[in-house]
Amino acid sequence: MLAHQNTVVRIDLFARSADDPAPATLTVADRSDKTDAGTRGDVLKKISSLNDLLVGRWTHSSLPAQPASELKFYFEHAYLSEFWIAVN
């Protein structure tokens, strides 16, 4: 067994907006209160070559200790038709 198999080294986020046209960006945060100084978030950016998929990496909050962990994401708005999480 490799030592890194039970740890998380990276999380990528993918979202499809239900808005038409899709926004250029979508902020995803670790808390619902945007005014809380401890709230951290990342911005997903629209990639036209991926049919306007919003793509980004979860970098501004701690990664979970193990791949099978609870994650909570708070979105700038809830107009999403799909959301995917890639855990590596």
Nearest to 26 by CA among 51, 61, 52: 52
Q: Where are the beta strands (DSSP E) in the chain?
A: 11-17, 25-29, 41-47, 53-57, 74-75, 80-87
Q: Distance (Å, rounded) from C-alpha 40 to C-alpha 32?
A: 10
Q: What is the pLDDT of residue 1?
A: 47
pLDDT, tens only, 11-41:
899 999 999 999 999 998 888 877 777 788 8
Q: Distance (Å, rounded) from C-alpha 79 to C-alpha 18?
A: 5
Q: What percent of the chain has pLDDT over 90?
A: 41
Query: In the chain, what is the straight-line distance between the N-terminal and C-terminal CA atoms, in Å?
Result: 16
Model's pTM, two decimal places? 0.82
